[in-house]
Structure 1
Amino acid sequence: MVDDDKSIKVWQNDNLRRYGHYMEKLIEEFIMNMHEVKGSSKNTEMSYRSDLMHMVEYLNSKGIYNIEDVGELACENFIKSLHDMNRAATTISRSIASMKAFFEYLVGRGIISNNVAAKLKAPKIEKKIPDILSIEEVDNLLRQPSKKTPKELRDKAMLELMYATGLRVSELIGLKMENLDLQLCEIRCITRKTERSVPFGNEAKKAILSYLKNGRPVLIADIEDSDYLFTNCSGKQMSRQGFWKLIKYYGQRAGIEKEITPHTLRHSFAAHLVENGADISSVKDMLGHSDISTTQIYLNLANRKIHDVYEKAHPRF
């Protein structure tokens, strides 16, 4: 019986190789390993899967279907094809990271003998200065929800809380009721690897209390035990796309001409704190950055603003 099982598995894998699906199967096993062993986030898993599936599509287009037939040259040519398509340096760097991790996983399993992506070099990425809103633009944006309907009470609370805490959109829509501490005015952000508490102020607290009293009960009326703090109009967890559309809508209503995304409020939160004297280490902790060099860009923004003020105001410039 054991021999029969082995024969069936060999036949299945041969069939997968023959029709070009074996690499896809290995990618799914790799993603599962990332999830179970390394505790990767859903966003990371989606990105790695997308990068690796694009690689497989390219390899298949070149007649390469077996993982054992993938060599260094094929990997280099795939990356060259991304350059030829004018893909962003960040996209190419992420693809290279995905490939290196995938092939290293296959080496560890004994499926291939060496990591054929190990020598790939990521392009240099210039740190782009993020777009931020002025304090006046933020005030105008946060005034847009009318607070007359359950949905707009929710929208007001979400926008206020995001600007008050600098949460990532995935953290905001993933908040549970148990993550909210109205006594201490804190939000607890919990991931598989880290946990941090971020304070919020009175304006956010007032918006949350109004939403909890007159908004959320209506939205979750058809759901028995929803534990998400913010829900869509069906009482279920709100999506990233839903919040993206929400902030675009209110940005247009506020007459803000800049490109505005959920991350714009996170950048604005950090930049305004640093401009007003917050130390960079505390801002790093509130944002949940693992490396202070990532937070340093907000200090650079503050310094640039000082230079702009000097140039405009000093009579001898």
Structure 2
Amino acid sequence: METDKQSTANIVKRYMRYLKLERNYSENTIEAYRHDLHWLLDYLAANSLTPTEVRLEDLQHFAATIHERGMSAKTQARILSGVRVFYKFLNVDGFMDADPSELLESPRLPQHLPEYLTLEEVDRLEDSMDMSKAESQRNRAIIEVLFSCGLRVSELVNLKLSDIFFEEKFIRVLGKGSKERLVPISDKAIHELQLWFTDRCHLDIKRGEEDYVFLNRRGHHLTRTMILIMIKRQAEEAGIKKTISPHTLRHSFATALLKGGADLRVIQALLGHEDIGTTEIYTHIDTTMLRQEILDHHPRNRNRELK
């Protein structure tokens, strides 16, 4: 029988507090963890188990159950990742002597290589701007900062004037989990920003918005959706057929660094990835590019095409 201290409701309440205070997750992220955790809690209740009674075999059966529901491999992997975080918390916080999820395996995900743009395509994006429009210089600066600094779109919309250090050529970025990192900013991005600031001075900036770098015509800071729509529209104007988003420019930043010989750990730090495994996707992009170079340029392959 559960004690009050170890009741499921109390455990979940303390777990949510842990995600907020110790892991510094946003409300949206915490809510996503809560939603995914309920798959496990419903399974345990149906099998007359409490979270602290669980063994590896129970978690493996739970994994089989969500697979049988027809969930995608990505959804299954996300739920099981949350289960591991939950049991790590139970172990560290003293609810359990051992973590039963340590050997829990996730489904193998198909390798998906993210779309990216070449330097020439980024230039086409910027050059396709109609500079007679009031927002065009702002949009050029947005694209250049995304590409030059590898920012997430959420990081870009929250970028403040006080985060930019022009003389040192760095920007301060507040990433996931409110973790700060310093990222170098290129001379090109600085130039585009300074041109935008000339236009920005003429806006009627609303109270509380004064420190945001990127603003709309009404003086409010931009939203993620606004930037997504702008980039998709600009890609059409530039004749770029790839399906792109603000995140494509982040991928392009990482790919350009890897092609230039940057160390993977450096790229990890610049992107703000907590896990090096997340950054390793770019090694697959590079391998794919190398293979295509061989197919396109090696004399054996050219000779094969001539036959």
Q: Judge same fold: TM > 0.5, yes or no.
A: yes
Q: Distance in 2 between matches of 1:64 and 1:231?
A: 53
Residue-by-residue CA offset, 1:124-169 (whole Å, 9 max, x unaligned) = 2344222212333222222344344454333221111000111122
* Counterpart in the other structure of 1:162: 146
TM-score, normalisation: structure 1:
0.74
Shift of 1:95: 0.9
Contact kept in structure 2, 1:149 and 1:215, CA below 8 Å: no
Which residue matches 2:156?
172
Alignment counterpart, residue 38 of structure 1, candidates 11, 23, 36: 23
Match of 1:240 in 2: 224
What residue in structure 1 maps to residue 120 of structure 2? 136
Q: CA deviation at 1:81?
A: 4.8
Check whether the contact 2:206–2:220 (CA below 8 A) recurs between aligned residues. Answer: no
- Structure 2 CA distance for partners of 1:59 and 1:216, relative to 1, 3 Å: farther
Assess, with a 3 A threshold, how the Cα gap between structure 1 residues 237 and 64 changes in structure 2: closer, same or farther.
farther
Bigger shift: residues 275-284 or 70-79: 70-79
Displacement of 1:199 in angstroms is 1.8
Contact 1:70–1:116 under 8 Å retained in 2: no
TM-fit CA distance, 1:121: 2.7
Q: Give 1:292 shift.
A: 4.3
| Distance in 1, Cα, partners of 2:38 & 2:258 | 41
Match of 1:188 in 2: 172
Mapped contact 1:251–1:260 kept (Cα < 8 A) = yes
Structure with larger RCO (C-alpha < 8 A, sep 6+): 2
Give the alignment's TM-score, normalised by structure 2: 0.76
Q: Closer, same or farther in 2 for the Cα pair 1:285/1:100, shift >3 Å? A: closer
Aligned-pair CA distance for 1:115: 6.8
Q: For each residue in 1:216-268, what CA deviation from the matched residue of structure 2 results, as whole angstroms up to 9, or x when unmatched?
A: 652x5232553222234554443333333332222233332222122211111
The change in CA–CA distance for 1:26 and 1:215 in structure 2 (over 3 A counts) is farther
Q: Cα RMSD over matched residues? A: 3.7
Distance in 2 (CA, whole Å) between partners of 1:139 and 1:31 is 45
Match of 2:195 among 197, 210, 231: 210
Structure 1, residues 78-131: CA drift from partner, whole Å, max 9, x if none? 544542454343332221122233355467778899877666431223442222
- What is the alpha-carbon distance in structure 2 between the residues aligned to residue 85 and residue 249 of structure 1? 38
Aligned: 1:315 with 2:299: yes
Confirm or deny that 1:48 pairs with 2:52: no
Q: How does 1:236-315 map to 2 (within 5 A)?
A: 236-315=220-299
Q: Quick check: 2:141–2:189 contact (8 Å CA) kept in 1?
A: yes
User: Is 2:215–2:222's contact at 8 Å kept on the other side of the alignment?
Assistant: yes
Once residues 28 and 316 of structure 1 are traced to their aligned partners in structure 2, the CA distance between those partners, rounded to angstroms, is 64
Letter in 1 for 2:198: K
What letter matches 1:128 in structure 2?
H
| Per-residue CA distance 1:185-222 (angstroms, 9 max, x = gap) | 3211245674332222233222211222213652x523
User: Structure 1 CA distance, aligned partners of 2:260 and 2:22?
Assistant: 42
Runs of 5+ unmatched residues, structure 2: 302-307
Once the two structures are superposed, residues 29-52 of structure 1 have per-residue CA deviations (whole angstroms, 9 ceiling, x without a partner) of: 522321112323456424313322
CA pair 81-248 structure 1, distance change in 2 beyond 3 A: farther
Letter of the 1:129 counterpart = L
Amino acid corresponding to residue 113 of structure 2 in structure 1: I
Matched with 1:152 is: 136
* Matches of 1:244 and 1:147, distance apart in 2: 20
Change beyond 3 A, Cα 1:211–1:96: same
- Provide structure 1 residue ranges, at least 5 long, that are not aligned to the other structure: 1-9, 11-16
Aligned length: 295
